Structure 1
Amino acid sequence: MIGADVSRHHQNFLQVVHSYYQLTKPRIIPLLLITTAGSMWIAAEGRVDPKLLVVTLVGGTFAAAAAQTVNCIYDRDIDYAMERTRHRPIPSGRVQSHHALIFAIALAAISFSLLAVFANLLAALLAMSGIVFYVAIYTHFLKRHTPQNIVIGGAAGAIPALVGWAAVTGSLSWTAWTIFAIVFLWTPPHFWALALMIREDYAKVGVPMLPVVAGDETTAQQIWFYTLILIPATFLLIYPLQSCGLLYGAIALILGSIFVRKAWLLWQNPTCKIQARSLFLYSILYMMLLCAGMVVDSLPFTHQVANALASSLNTIISTILISR
């Protein structure tokens, strides 16, 4: 049995809880939730129902945790082969695969129930589709068979934005799909930067990540191209959709400029793991701050300040024109 030679026994209940908590890969989930929150705030025009927000984020957390748990079950063989992941709960023997599967099913059921009862059926079904896409399409069909795994699989990570929008409105719109597209386009630069850092691990277990198949230079070039597509896409929320305002635009411009610079530096030195790490870490900060910008821009107070500034500016311009 995989990991039998390093099997560990839990000494107390807290260690059991911690092992199951680790199955969910908790460091990944907050990034998914912030895209959900950003989408919800825009959909609600800055007036999100606190109860709905909590329910949607909790439901999204359980859905993401279920997907990650099944991923741990499916990838237990390559996790055991890589030193970086060998001590995860399943390959280390601390959690059995069938117990993890029961845990994942319970998480998915709780997620669906919460979203269906307290939000709406569309949000619940979208959350379940995210689990199915991540497990069946990305983990099973794509991850071990094509270097484009992250490109196509990025849709799974973008679905939480749709869940957030659907939870508020009960439908989907062009704005929701645009936020989905932003996350989708962001995923390849984000994940390929990580893949450049740990290329040897993927090569060791035969996972055809782009750096393994095509090399560092091609990967850095693809990161650059996707970045150039991503940044203009973020401004579609301003025009033509008019879902966000100038504050969001200023934030997107500043963040995007830094992203472009880091992607360019990596392209100039594709074998530099320091540059890859810098881009990877910044990409996380980028998405968090971009979504925070969506939230702040949507607030009624922000609109009031913007309208007051616009009114003052018009008054000043009118005064200058009259004086002439």
Structure 2
Amino acid sequence: MSDSNTTDFTNPSTFILLGIPGLEVAHVWISIFFCTMYVIAILGNFTILFIVKTEPSLHGPMYYFLCMLAVSDLVLSTSILPKMLSIFWFNSREIDFSACFTQMYFIHFILGMESGILVAMALDRYVAICHPLRYCTILTNPVVAKIVLAVVLRGSTVVLPLPILASQWPYCTTNIIPQPYCMHMTVVKLACADTRISSYYGLFAQFCVNGLDMFFITLSYIQILMAIFRLPTKDAQVKTFGTCISHLFVILAFYIPGLFFSLMYRVSQNVPGHFHVLIGNVYVLIPPVLNPIIYGVRTKQIQDRLLRLFIHKGA
């Protein structure tokens, strides 16, 4: 019996995605929530892109980075949610072996790229507050283009070994993934081999991306706060700090669930499986929903352009 099972599962042609194990009876209701999130993410991020494109006053470094964040949010949510909804609605649980690792690559690539974009936004805030008179000469369009290229190249190359390594392991015990999408740690746990190299590289990639990015963001905000405290009046301090609030909210929405998700997978052994999955979903799906809302609510230029757009249509 053991030999037969091994033969059946060695190098499977497909994986089986379970959705959210333990909450199968609630899949329909959960799907409504996730579908709503997807619609909000699509509409919100396309609205950000449209407003920045059509409003000349928003053609600056911060809004270019915001557009890049919106594009990455669209790619991230589209990489996950259509397949997830097909599981919940049509019980379409199978995913091709190569498609699983392709999805894994795009999820980790986009998450890494978003982290880099947050660093670029922190740099923008640092230059705007600490060197306001040199802002236009420091963050020129060629410099912004180089930053964007560096973020994309780093994100695409650092995570590339993750799916390559994971696809080389033998999967001879089960091909069932207890999640609605293919994440690196979840898939590698199914391999019947010594996968320490994948774990070690995963930790290395996380340090090179999230670890270093958090360090540079923290360093930027230390300099920003020092510059703010040197301003002569309380009103000037509050107004200047207010220009960073949107970025700080986006940072918290991105990094806190990510850190909790990573630590929970590597440390906790007694957390229910469905809780792992739900936290993972929060990690990858909440930022694409929240980011356009945060910047739409907190950015007056975007609010004004959106208001003019609706007034024009109403007239």
> What band does the TM-score fall into relative to the shorter chain?
0.3 to 0.5
State the TM-score, normalizing by the size of structure 2. 0.34
